[in-house]
C-alpha cells in the first residue's frame, strides 16, 4: 500500500444475518485492509437503492452464489475521497474525489465510513458533479450503459 492514514476502526451499518430492516445495526468494525489492486475510499455519501432490501434479505447472495462473511456491510453506491491505494494502483492518489460500485464487495459496501474497492470499479468524479450526486450514480450509470449496449 502506498499511503494509509486511515483509522483502524469505522462506524458502519451492517447485518449479522439476512433479514428485514430490523437486521440493520450500527456497528464499529475494522477499516478494511487495502489489497494491491484496491482503493480505500473514505465514504462521504452512499446511495440508497430500491434493490437494497433484496441485498439485505440475501437475494443477491443466493442469485450470485455469494457467501459473505458476517457482519456484512451493505450498500452498492458510494462516493468520497481516496484515503489509500494498493501498490499496483496508479490511476488514483490519496485525496482524489471518486465514486465506486460496492454491491457484493467481499470487503463491504458503502454503508460505512470506509470501503476497500477494486480499482477497476472506481472512477474520478466527473466535471462539476458533487460528491452527493456521484454517490448515487454507480448503479444507475451501469444500468444506463447496459441498456445502451443492449440496444
> Mind listing the pLDDT tens digit for each residue in 107-137?
999 999 999 999 999 999 998 999 999 988 8
d(CA 35, CA 57): 28
Beta-strand ranges (E) seen in 54-142 are 72-73, 77-85, 97-101, 114-118, 122-124
* Residue in the structure block whose three cell numbers are 444506463: 144
78-113-126 Cα angle (round to 5): 30
Regarding pTM above 0.75, the answer is: yes
* Residue in the structure block whose three cell numbers are 459496501: 109
> Mind listing the pLDDT tens digit for each residue in 57-87?
999 999 999 888 899 999 999 999 999 999 9
Amino acid at each position: 500500500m502506498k499511503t494509509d492514514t486511515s483509522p483502524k476502526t469505522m462506524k458502519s451499518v451492517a447485518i449479522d444475518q439476512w433479514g428485514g430492516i430490523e437486521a440493520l445495526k450500527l456497528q464499529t468494525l475494522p477499516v478494511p485492509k487495502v489489497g494491491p489492486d484496491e482503493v480505500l475510499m473514505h465514504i462521504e455519501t452512499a446511495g440508497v437503492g430500491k434493490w437494497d432490501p433484496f441485498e439485505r434479505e440475501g437475494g443477491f447472495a443466493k442469485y450470485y452464489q455469494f457467501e459473505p462473511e458476517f457482519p456484512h456491510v451493505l450498500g452498492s453506491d458510494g462516493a468520497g475521497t481516496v484515503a489509500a491505494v494498493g501498490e499496483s494502483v496508479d490511476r488514483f492518489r490519496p485525496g482524489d474525489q471518486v465514486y465506486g460500485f460496492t454491491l457484493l464487495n467481499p470487503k463491504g459496501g458503502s454503508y460505512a465510513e470506509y470501503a476497500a474497492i477494486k480499482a477497476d470499479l472506481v472512477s474520478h468524479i466527473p466535471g462539476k458533479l458533487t460528491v452527493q450526486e456521484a454517490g448515487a450514480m454507480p448503479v444507475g450509470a451501469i444500468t444506463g450503459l447496459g441498456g445502451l449496449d443492449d440496444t
